[in-house]
């Protein structure tokens, strides 16, 4: 591969009509001092000189000096429709003026209305939604439902995956940097990652995907009683570096799981709600068919689980309280879901991200690749662009594509 020594020029952000409000709060030094003294040590900041963000508007963030940044992580994959989107904030204000909170032991239209809307976006048969408080809790519940339904305990996950940090979901996460040595992980098994750039297998991406799916068979054969509760995977690994296998991987992996009694769980925390551009859910990019025979549980960024009714019926113990609060939080989610139906948003995802070889971000990543000893293609599916080919833009909360650093294999 030819190596260029020419620098990659900084991008210039377009003009905006938004003017941030003057900031009159504590200084950044005071805020950092308070964090250090009073906040838990698990939280951290990016950069030697941390950013302090005090305002957001659509795709932009502003620091205490009024300087504007382009948020390329969407609040760490949370703000799908932009910061302070007028449609969402209007719904929040309307709801706060009417009813702020009440528990699920009372009826209210917001929760069932949103659950119905989500069911319309799901494959046929995935009709029942559990609203929970975090992604970790969603995965905990999905695994528990799979075990209840199948009567089996063993779960297959994929190496390099991230599924949460709670004591239970931490066991299916496959990053040593995120795991603790105190969470028993009996019954959890991690299969070979189908990422063709870092696989122990050789061959084309499709051949590596097939070999990786066959590894699930070997895990089941040698590490379980021969039957499993579930196979869980991210359609596109997020924390693991925006990586995925060839299109045939999930289809073949799901078939193996079904053949051994397991349900299939698609962790859509980073791919759901249209962010890949062409499909509403990430697994749909990989030619996966969710059949009526298959029980599936899907987790999205709004922290929910969707399942077949006959599976959901096994998990019917009380869930009253703030969990699934039908007022304010669901108004926020409904506002975002409404905006995700806007066809212009999908077009934006495709235009700026694109499918592999299409899109502005792909071309920008190719420019970042110049001058680096990196083999492989930048990977971009919608807004999921990044390091599958070893490209690791240091963007943080960020604003500019900077010169890429080679990622250790």
Tell me how far apart the alpha carbons of residues 61 and 53 are, in angstroms, rounded to a whole number.
Answer: 7
Domains in the chain: ranges and CATH: 124-309 (3.40.640.10)
pLDDT digits (tens, 9 = 90+) for 7-17: 555 667 889 99
SS3 of 31-57:
HHHHHHHHCCCCCCCCCCCCCCEEEEE
Q: Is the pTM of this model over 0.85?
A: no
Helices (H), ranges, 109-204 = 110-121, 135-150, 169-172
- pLDDT at residue 331 tops 60: no
Question: Which pLDDT score is estimated for 348?
Answer: 56
Question: Which pLDDT score is estimated for 338?
Answer: 55
Mean pLDDT check: name the lowest of 145-149, 237-241, 298-302, 312-316.
298-302
Tell me the angle at which helices 205-223 and 248-259 cross, rounded to the nearest 10 degrees: 20
Tell me how far apart the alpha carbons of residues 171 and 184 are, in angstroms, rounded to a whole number.
Answer: 7
Mean pLDDT check: name the lowest of 142-151, 221-230, 387-396.
387-396
pLDDT digits (tens, 9 = 90+) for 187-219: 999 999 999 988 999 999 999 999 999 999 999
């Amino acid at each position: 591969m030819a190596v260029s020594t020419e620098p990659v020029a900084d991008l210039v952000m377009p003009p905006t009509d938004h003017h941030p409000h003057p900031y009159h709060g504590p200084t950044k030094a005071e805020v950092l001092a308070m964090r250090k003294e009073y906040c838990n040590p698990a939280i951290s900041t990016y950069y030697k000189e941390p950013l302090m963000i005090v305002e957001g508007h659509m795709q932009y963030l502003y620091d205490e000096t009024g300087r504007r940044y382009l948020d390329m992580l969407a609040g760490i994959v949370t703000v799908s429709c932009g910061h302070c989107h007028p449609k969402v904030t209007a719904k929040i204000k309307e709801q706060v003026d009417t009813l702020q909170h009440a528990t699920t032991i009372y009826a209210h239209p917001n929760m069932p209305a949103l659950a119905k809307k989500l069911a319309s976006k799901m494959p046929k048969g995935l009709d029942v939604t559990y609203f929970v408080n975090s992604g970790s809790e969603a995965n905990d519940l999905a695994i528990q439902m799979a075990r209840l339904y199948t009567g089996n305990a063993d779960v297959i996950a994929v190496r390099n995956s991230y599924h949460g940090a709670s004591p239970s979901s931490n066991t299916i996460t496959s990053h040593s940097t995120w795991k603790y040595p105190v969470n028993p992980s009996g019954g959890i098994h991690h299969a070979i990652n189908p990422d063709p750039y870092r696989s122990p297998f050789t061959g084309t991406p499709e051949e590596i995907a097939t070999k990786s799916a066959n590894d699930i068979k070997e895990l089941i054969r040698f590490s379980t009683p021969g039957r499993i509760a579930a196979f869980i995977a991210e359609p596109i690994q997020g924390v693991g570096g925006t990586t995925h296998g060839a299109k045939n991987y999930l289809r073949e992996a799901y078939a193996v799981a079904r053949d051994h009694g397991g349900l299939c769980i698609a962790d859509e925390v980073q791919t759901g709600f249209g962010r890949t551009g062409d499909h509403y859910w990430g697994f749909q990019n990989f030619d996966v068919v969710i059949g009526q025979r298959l029980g599936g549980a899907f987790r999205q960024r709004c922290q929910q689980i969707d399942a077949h009714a006959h599976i959901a019926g096994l998990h019917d113990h009380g869930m009253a309280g703030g969990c699934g609060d039908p007022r304010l939080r669901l108004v926020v989610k409904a506002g975002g879901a409404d905006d995700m139906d806007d066809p212009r948003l999908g077009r934006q995802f495709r235009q700026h991200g694109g499918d592999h070889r299409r899109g502005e971000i792909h071309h920008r990543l190719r420019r970042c690749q110049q001058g680096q000893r990196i083999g492989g293609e930048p990977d971009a599916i919608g807004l999921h662009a990044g390091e599958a080919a070893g490209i690791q833009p240091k963007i943080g909360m960020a604003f500019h594509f900077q010169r890429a650093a080679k990622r250790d294999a």
